Amino acid sequence: MPELLPRVTLFLNLQDNMTKTGANICEEKLFNELFKINSKDLYKFLLYKYGPENNPADLVQEAFIKLWNNCHRVIPEKARSFLFTVANNQMLNDLAKKKTVIKYNLENQTGHNIESPEYLMEEKQFMDRLQRAIQELTEEQRVTFLLNRVEGKKHKEIAEMLGISQKAVEKRIYTALSAIIEKVGKI
Amino acid sequence: MEKEDYLKKWLQGSLNEEEKSVFQRTDDYRFLEKMSDSLMSFKAPEYNVEAEYERLSARRSVKGKVITMNWFSPLLKVAAVLMLMAGSYFFFLYDAPTVVETLAKEKAELVLPDSSFVALNALSRLSFHDKNWKKERLVELEGEGFFKVAKGSKFDVVTSSGKVSVLGTAFNVSNRKDYFEVICYEGSVEVQSANEIVRLLPKEIFRTISGVASKEITATDDAPGWRAGQSSFQSIPFRYVIQEFERQYDVSVTARNVDTNQLFTGSFPHSDLSLGLKSIALPLNLTYQIFEDKKIILTGDIQ
């Protein structure tokens, strides 16, 4: 149950922060800064975890609205974990959650210009198998794996985002990779 | 080294040269390289931070207004309660006085809640409280009024010059500038002016002229002259006669070479200006001129 942990710690942090004073998220400038720093990562986190069908951009908006409404109670240092926890919980609470569909987009691929029909065929089959394998990963495995392999996020960063240990991140990535190798198999 | 270790080290990018050259010859390595390439096709679409922040700001400003209302609403509640209290006060408790006023040349008659009768002479004002009437029969008077009071408890007429209290009677009160006069026609009247309390019986007059009080007997009718359309005077300084004349005809009278303190006994009618003028001018041997804009000049023979 690693997801429960950040929620508990967040709650405790909120309790502490009630009495603290200092920089205030309610200030437009700081809030804007926090948005610049966190919105993109939060968006990718939600996208890789739940897929584009579940409106990650809107969930980012909701999370920041929640942060704004609680701006007096969250200190800036805890804003990032607040945002990720809120966004993740929103998704969990959303009963109408759609099946995660992560799709590849060949426009992003580089380097292949003129290919033989057979090669293109093989390529397409490979991509389809890879896509299915990624979709069949658990949410936790997928978000960890893609943040690392596609976005190039470091283990430490991912651990902070998810509120888990670096060891757990490493383990998830390895498990995800094993599953993909097993399903997509040899070339 | 096991395959698992190679994979872990590849993930961490911590293979050394020797390990790399071994691993590069395996199918696994070629798969990983191909997969890494292919994974780029799964890259998330670009996220436009600026545009998303603008979208957020638009939504946040709506929320901001809600917060403002949260601060504002306790005040609104207080205001609503105050309005309600003020509203019920005015509706249930506040007793706006009933006011009757007359202009120059004008007279009015009214019946009070207990069917007492009041007649108002020109340029007068009477006010009383309807709701309080049963507890206290009290009217406020400016100017001149004739009262015929129904029998019952005490009836008070409050004026700026004194209070007139009666128990079922008919009387006239005239409260003009520097001039206060009460004439009793029936029953008895108690007059409280600044300095004294005087009890009047029928046909008795109480007067205060410029602070000098006097009590006289008059051979008057059972109602003041103005009720029958004329003003009657008995030993009254002439300036008060002029003032009454101005009120009755809505004119302005200027007296030249006239001793306005000399006493006047007589009367003038309210219906005919030139007849009225003659009535006050001839006894004092004055001449008069009438101008178009309601101006009248009385000229005497004092040098």
DSSP for A39-69, written as a single string: HHHHHHHHHHHH-GGG-HHHHHHHHHHHHHH
Residues of A in contact with B51 (CB under 8 A): none
Angle formed at CA B269 by CA B264 and CA B274, multiple of 5 degrees: 95
What kind and span of H or E run contains B30? helix B27-39
Mind telling me how many Å the CA of B75 is from chain A's nearest CA?
22
pLDDT for residue A4: 47
pLDDT over 50 (residue B50): yes
pLDDT of A107 strictly over 50: yes
Whether B36 sits inside 8 A of A109 (CB atoms) is: no
Cα–Cα distance between A54 and A46 in angstroms, integer? 9
Contact A127 B38 (CB under 8 A): yes
pLDDT at A99 over 80: no
| Low-confidence winner among A19-33, B125-139, B200-214 (lowest mean pLDDT) | A19-33
Q: How many CB atoms lie within 10 A of CB A35?
A: 23
Question: Which residues of B fall within a CB distance of 8 Å from A102?
Answer: 42
Distance, CA of B166 to CA of B157 (rounded, Å): 9
Compute the average pLDDT of residues A85-113: 67
Nearest to B287 by CA among B298, B301, B276: B298
Find the mean pLDDT for residues B156-176. Answer: 86
Q: What is the pLDDT of residue A96?
A: 57
Helix orientation angle between B27-39 and A117-136, rounded to the nearest 10 degrees:
80
Cβ contacts (< 8 Å) between B9 and chain A: which residues? none
Calculate what percentage of chain B has a pLDDT beyond 70.
Answer: 94
pLDDT in tens, B215-240: 888 766 777 888 888 888 888 889 89
State the average pLDDT over residues B130-142: 84
Dist CA A179 CA A175 (whole Å):
6
Q: Do B39 and A150 touch (CB under 8 A)?
A: yes
Tokens, residue B228: 């029958």
* pLDDT, greater one: B208 or A103: B208
Name the least confident of A128-142, B57-71, B137-151, B263-277: B57-71
Q: pLDDT (tens digit, 9 = 90+) per residue, B234-288?
A: 888 898 999 989 988 889 898 888 888 888 888 899 888 888 888 888 888 888 8
Output the six-digit token pair for B102: 């007359």
CA separation for the pair B233, B241 (Å, rounded) = 8
pLDDT at B70: 60
**Mean pLDDT, rounded, for A131-154:** 89
Quick one: pLDDT at residue A72?
84
Q: Is B93 on the interface with A (CB under 8 A)?
A: no
Q: Residue A100 pLDDT more than 80? A: no
Whether the predicted pLDDT of B44 surpasses 70:
yes
pLDDT of residue B82: 92
The answer to whether B34 touches A180, Cβ cutoff 8 Å, is no
> CA of A2, closest CA in chain B: separation in Å?
22
What ipTM goes with this model? 0.72
Predicted local distance difference test score (pLDDT) of residue A168:
92
pLDDT confidence of residue B141: 92
3-state secondary structure of A109: coil
With a pLDDT cut of 90, the percent of chain B lying above it is: 7
Chain B hits for A130, Cβ within 8 Å: 35, 38-39
B28, closest residue in chain A (CA to CA): A186
Instruction: Flag if A126 and B39 touch (Cβ within 8 Å).
Output: no
- Distance from the B7 Cα atom to the nearest Cα atom in chain A, whole angstroms: 8
Residues 25-54 of B with CB under 8 A from A: 27-28, 30-31, 34-45, 47, 49, 52-53
- Residue of B41, B56, B59 lying closest to A106 (CB–CB): B41
What pLDDT does residue A8 have? Answer: 46
Closest-CA distance, A49 to chain B, in angstroms, reads: 11
Q: Identify the H or E element spanning B281.
A: helix B273-281
Which spans in chain A are helix H? 4-19, 28-50, 56-69, 76-93, 117-136, 139-149, 155-162, 166-184
What's the pLDDT score for residue B302? 73
Residue B72 has pLDDT above 70, yes or no: no
pLDDT the model gives residue A97 = 61
Mean pLDDT over the full length of chain A:
79
pLDDT confidence tier of residue B145, bands split at 50, 70 and 90: very high
Disruptive mutation site among B39, B46, B48 for chain A (greatest number of A CBs within 10 Å): B39
**Residues from chain B contacting residue A70 (CB–CB below 8 Å):** none
What is the pLDDT at residue B124? 92
Contact assignment for B31 to A130 by CB distance below 8 Å:
no
Model confidence at A11, pLDDT cuts 50, 70, 90, reads very low
Q: How far apart are CA B239 and CA B94, in angstroms?
A: 42
Q: Which two tokens stand for residue B134?
A: 């049963």
In the predicted model, is pLDDT for residue A153 greater than 70? yes
Answer yes or no: is pLDDT of A109 > 70.
no
What pLDDT is attached to residue B106? 87
Q: Residue A127: is its pLDDT beyond 60?
A: yes
What confidence score (pLDDT) does residue B59 get? 80
Mean per-residue pLDDT for B15-44? 83
Task: Give the number of other Cβ atoms within 10 Å of residue B26's Cβ.
Answer: 12
